[in-house]
Amino acid sequence: CSQLMKTAAIIPVRMASTRLPGKVLTLINSKPVLGHLIDRLKACNTLDEIIVATSQNEENNAIEDYCQVSDVTCFRGSEENVLERLVFALKDSAADIGVLAFGDGPLVDPALVDSFVRKFVKNGSIDFLSNDLKTTYPPGMEVEVFKTTALLDSHARNDNFATREHGTLYIRQHPEHYKCENIEAP
């Protein structure tokens, strides 16, 4: 993306999905759902690293094993506090820019991710750019790009467990603290 800024895609996933436990490693065409998403992100030109952020619960050992064979960084953190998991994973990575890729969106378009990262970097003055503040893209094409410093700030400000469970929700709910931009589908 830029020689001065490191950009990391982060995928928060866990085996304990409520609606479909283990969905992240469910096979589709002989490849886990997570594998399809990783392949899509590896096709991006703007990403320096891909991080799978899962919890420390033993059931997620299978996710870490899959990351090892896929040559992708795996970070283990809190099961319920997704915001904390994202923050610590990005701090470990020393990433300046985070790109949230949703584990249940394995067909996200790499060109869309690249265009959002480029717009985010080119603008330079925003904290958060996405297409899910107002949804106009098809389901599964959600992309969020943000300054790691904004996520760290939201981690420090946010003491509500319900919003900490949803990673970037505090940023999206507090435009008085963060400059946010939404991109609508053409």
pLDDT tens digits, one per residue of 12-28: 999 987 788 899 999 99
pTM across the whole model = 0.94
What is the Cα–Cα distance from 124 to 122, expressed in whole angstroms?
5
Residue 1 confidence (pLDDT)? 45
3-class state of residue 10 by DSSP: strand
Is pLDDT above 60 for 3?
no
Residues in the chain: 186
* Range in 14-28, 50-64, 67-81 with the lowest mean pLDDT: 14-28
Q: What number is the average pLDDT over the span 102-106?
A: 92
What is the Cα–Cα distance from 43 to 39, expressed in whole angstroms?
6
Strand order in the sheet with 180-182: 73-77, 49-55, 7-12, 97-100, 144-147, 128-130, 180-182
The radius of gyration computed from the CA coordinates of the chain, to the nearest angstrom, equals: 15
Taking only the tens place, the pLDDT of each residue in 109-137 is 999 999 999 999 999 999 999 999 999 99
What is the Cα–Cα distance from 160 to 174, expressed in whole angstroms?
13
